[in-house]
Copies of this chain bind each other. A is one copy, B any other.
Amino acid sequence: MAVTDTAIEAIKQMIVSGELRPGDRLPRENDLAARLGLSRNSLREAVKALALIRVLEVRQGDGTYVTSLDPALLMETMAFVLDLQQDASVLEFFEVRRILEPAAAARAALRMPDAEVAAMRALLDDLGEDPSADDQLACDVEFHRLIAIGSGNRTLASILESLRQPTYRARIWRGLTQTGAVHRSLAEHRSILDAIAAREPEVARAWATVHIAGVERWLNEMVSPEPDEAPAALRTASAVSRRPLNRSIRRGP
Contact = CB atoms under 8 A, between A and B. Distances in A.
Interface of A: 1-2, 4-5, 8-9, 12, 15-17, 41, 44-46, 48-55, 69, 71, 74-75, 77-78, 80-86, 89, 92-93, 95-96, 99-100, 103, 153-156, 159, 237, 244-246
A83 B16 CA distance: 8
B8 A246 contact: yes
A85 to B, nearest CB: 6
User: How many chain copies?
Assistant: 2
B84 A15 contact: yes
Nearest to A73: B81
A48 B41 CA distance: 12
A96 B156 contact: yes
Contact of A16 (B69, B75, B77, B84): B84
Contacts of A8: 52, 245-246
Contacts of A69: 84-86
20 contacts: A4-B48, A8-B52, A8-B245, A12-B83, A12-B84, A15-B84, A41-B41, A49-B51, A50-B52, A54-B81, A55-B84, A71-B85, A71-B89, A74-B82, A77-B78, A92-B154, A95-B156, A96-B100, A100-B100, A159-B159
